[in-house]
Chain A
Amino acid sequence: MKRTISTLAGAAVAALIAAQPVLAEETLAIGVSDALTGGAAVYGLPQANAVKLAASEINAAGGISVGGETYMLEVIAYDDKGNPTEATNAVRKLIDRDGVKYILGFCCSGATGAVASFIEYEDAVMLVGNAAERSITTREIPNLTRTRPPADYTGAAAGAFVAAKGHKRVAVLGALDVGFYASYVDAFEKELNKAGGEIVTREAFALKDRDMTPQLTKIRGLEADALLVVGYVEPAAFIYRQSVELGLDLPRYGFTSGSEEQFLRVATSEQMEGVWDLRPTELTLLSATENGIAYHENYAAAYGISPSPSSPYAYDQTYALKDALEAAGTVEDTAAVARALRELAVPDEVVMQYLPIDGKMFDRNGQAYTSNGAFQWRDGNWTFVQDLPSDPVAYSEFLSTLD
């Protein structure tokens, strides 16, 4: 009798379990196209890592719930080397071969611009991270959004800041053949001129240049009262190091977004002391929010290295995509997801401090805005000193007037 009861009870439990509605667990592949090797990998690799970190967090928290289905994210990352041709190939491979509809990453403007030129005609959504060239979000591409503000938005704020410091003769040394660096300097110069200052020389360097002593020697002879360095972290670090070696005693301002670790591979902390970085208010431990501190810890635990300041642009993309997919209620209809992105409030999990436009993370151009900040190297760390004067609403209006 006992045996019969226990058998019946077992059967009943089994029946109950079988009768439970089981949520189907699907996999949603998302793509990353970024510079994983080469000169731009200092930005691209941390971005790819950031997407993977966000995806693993989302999966650990139960995935993305869309239309009654639960999706786990799978990240497929390709190396575009920051090169337009490679990026085009990488994205084509993601769309055509891997069947990916959501593509993230994009640290570099040249590569991003190449993909942006055709993405509108694809059944896909493109989420741009660190690439700062303004024209990426002036083309009214409905299925493209960008988390990083354009370079000239920051350049204008930087120019006003440097002018307020009383500098009248600023020498520029930068990667001026790169469009967004040149636009940063143009916007900087406008603000400097308004205050009666001028740029006394625009010296250039290429991505692979490491010997900047000829340019710095020239600047030393021009009696400039400040130096502005715009360019990738590695050449910029050499400029800071070599400026000290040449005895160039000038206040040094920059636009580089490099982490402490990245600079210290090239220059000593003493050589970096006092350098300013005038950039979007990106991740810096001393200025980070709770999310930022958690991101820093989780990233360091996962990859054994501190995240670069700009890497959260990609981390934030992933959470923006998650919220947009859930709001749209579909993973198939990319147009609906793209529309949901435009209507999205800033997700709770993001690391950067976004300034919403009409309560939304992205403006009608698909552009997000952060505040801009002045960071100074003090005793081995980038220290947040103050916000730079920035007006995202006015800039968003201006952006809408451009073709």
Chain B
Amino acid sequence: MIEILQQIVNGIAIGGVYVLIALGLTTVFGILGIAHFAHGSVSMFGGYLTFFLVAGQGIPLVIAIPVALTAGVVLGMAIELLAYRPVRKASHINAFIVALGLTMMVEGLNLEFFGHEQVVIPTSFDRVFNIGGVTLPELRLYVILAAALLIAAMTIFVERTKTGQAIRAVAENRDAAILMGVNVRTIPLVVFAMSTALGVAAGIMVGALFAIAPGIGEGLVIKGFAVLILGGLGSIPGAIVGGIVLGITESLAAGFVSSAYKDVIAFLVMIFVLLFRPQGLLGKAS
């Protein structure tokens, strides 16, 4: 029993990271219909930037994190303005190609500015808590709490604020939103700013818990899209449930079936869910 609980706790921490990645992807996809493949690389940029500030400049982590998140907001808006806005009215394939090109570009920039070495964001959180035989490292606890906080903040923003209502309106029906006076030109900017900030937060978590290195972002974005499909395309609650389910499934699969096939098993579970709910766990049937 302890082992199952331990595996679930292990899975929640990594699931929290998946949720943040997926939330960024799902808002962009749900509202703008763009498969933003560069999200993983942008997320790694956030992790690298935090590492640079903390390890290279000696800036405390509590200051480096908001700086990186702000940089994420600016980067997100720049991506929307410079990369996606020019092709917004073109065929979907154009945005697809832009997304691929952007991925390579951001990866290249990361490599150029931060080098090819694996880096780990240094923290001083090295205590380990033992709760009834289940161990929880301090850093993982903070990652879980921070992920929960960000998820709650985003949910409140989307559900309770006027801008959030506008975002939902554009996602539901863009034409109707225009008729209701929603400024649809600024919504994509807000969406990309929010999405990229969430990605940066995920990058910081990955960088502190594990490591940032070239290629890690690709794996993250694949998992993010898997969560999107599992939870339901464009569904924010779906991304939250899907991310946690994927994290825990991977952990349980590695612990009780085979570590060599944990990804395969996690994806098999995803396919199994989609057989019965093709719209995903919380997606709306079309």
- Is B244 located at the chain interface by the 8 A CB criterion? no
A265 to B211, CA, bound (A): 10
Residues of B within 8 A of A213 (CB): 10, 251
Segment of A49-57, A216-224, A324-332 in the binding face: A216-224
Set A176, A234, A244, A265: member contacting B260, Cβ < 8 A: A176
- Contact between B251 and A247, CB atoms less than 8 A apart: no
B118–A234 contact, CB under 8 A?
A: yes
Tell whether A215 is near chain B: CB-to-CB under 8 Å.
yes
Chain A nearest CB from B64 CB (Å) reads 18
Assess whether B113 is interfacial by the CB under 8 Å rule.
Answer: no
CA distance A204 to B262 in the complex (A): 10
Q: Size class of B's contact patch? A: 35 or more
**Chain A 231-249: CB-based contact to B (< 8 A → 1; otherwise 0):** 0001000100000111100
Known: A38-B215, A208-B219, A221-B3. A265 touches B116 (CB 8 A): no
A36 and B120 CA atoms in complex are apart in Å by 19
Query: What's the Cα separation between A383 and B254 when bound, in Å?
Result: 34
Please pick, from B116, B211, B251, B259, the residue contacting A210 in the complex, using a CB distance under 8 A.
Answer: B211
Docked-complex contact A238 and B210, CB < 8 angstroms: yes
Chain B residues, Cβ within 8 Å of A297: none
B130 pairs with A215, CB closer than 8 A = no
Indicate if A142 sits at the interface (CB-CB under 8 A).
no
Query: Given A36, A214, A246, A247, which contacts B254 in the complex, CB threshold below 8 Å?
Result: A214
Taking the complex as formed, is A122 at the interface, i.e. its CB lies under 8 A from any CB of chain B?
no
Checking A38, A42, A214 against B214 with a beta-carbon cut-off of 8 angstroms, the contacting residue is A38
> Which of B116, B214, B219, B254 is most buried by chain A, counting CB atoms within 10 A of its CB?
B254
Q: With the chains together, A42 CA to B252 CA distance in Å? A: 31
Q: Does A25 contact B (CB under 8 A)?
A: no
* Cβ A247 vs Cβ B14 within 8 A: no
Chain B residues with CB under 8 A of A218? 3, 254-256, 259
List B contacts of A333 (CB < 8 A). Answer: none
The answer to whether B259 and A265 touch across the interface, beta carbons within 8 angstroms, is: no
Given contacts A38-B116, A213-B251, A203 and B259 within 8 Å (CB-CB): yes
Residues of B within 8 A of A392 (CB): none
Q: Indicate if the CB atoms of A214 and B3 lie closer than 8 Å.
A: no
Residues of chain B in range 7-62 having any CB-CB distance to chain A below 8 Å: 7, 10-11, 14
Is there an interface contact between A211 and B215, defined as CB atoms closer than 8 Å?
no
Query: Shortest beta-carbon distance, B211 to chain A, in Å?
Result: 5
Residues of B within 8 A of A215 (CB): 254-255, 259
Report how far A205 CA is from B210 CA in the complex, Å. Answer: 14
Known: A39-B215, A211-B14, A268-B126. A217 touches B255 (CB 8 A): yes
Q: Let me know if B213 is at the binding interface, CB within 8 A.
A: yes
Q: How many residues of A contact B (CB 8 A)?
A: 30
CB-contact partner of B128 in A36, A204, A247, under 8 A? A247
**Contact string against B for A residues 245-273, beta-carbon threshold 8 Å, 1 for contact and 0 otherwise:** 11100000000000000000110100000
Within 8 Å CB of B253, what residues of A? Answer: 214
B216 interface residue per 8 A CB criterion: yes
A245 to B255, CA, bound (A): 17
Contact B219 A217 (CB under 8 A): no
Q: Is the CB of A214 within 8 A of B250?
A: yes
Report chain A residues within 8 Å CB of B254.
203, 214-215, 218
User: Which A residues touch B135, using CB under 8 A?
Assistant: 245-247
A221 to B135, alpha carbons, bound, how many Å? 13
User: B260 and A204: CB pair below 8 A?
Assistant: yes
CB contacts (< 8 Å) of B258 on chain A: these are 204
Q: Does A41 make an interface contact (CB < 8 A)?
A: yes
Q: Mark B127-143, 1 if CB is under 8 A from A, else 0.
A: 01010000101000000
> Considering the chains assembled together, what is the distance between the CA atoms of A214 and B7 in angstroms?
6
Residues in A with CB closer than 8 Å to B130 are 247
**CB of B78 closer than 8 Å to a CB of A:** no
Instruction: Tell me the minimal C-beta distance from B179 to chain A in angstroms.
Output: 48
- Scoring A residues 187 to 213 as 1 if CB is less than 8 Å from chain B, else 0, what string do you get? 000000000000000011100101101
Q: State in angstroms the CA–CA spacing of A115 and B10 once bound together.
A: 41
Given contacts A208-B216, A221-B2, A245-B137, 10 further A-B contacts (CB under 8 A): A39-B118, A39-B213, A208-B219, A213-B251, A214-B259, A215-B254, A215-B259, A218-B259, A234-B211, A265-B120
Residues of A within 8 A of B (CB): 36-39, 41-42, 176-177, 203-205, 208, 210-211, 213-215, 217-218, 220-221, 234, 238, 244-247, 265-266, 268
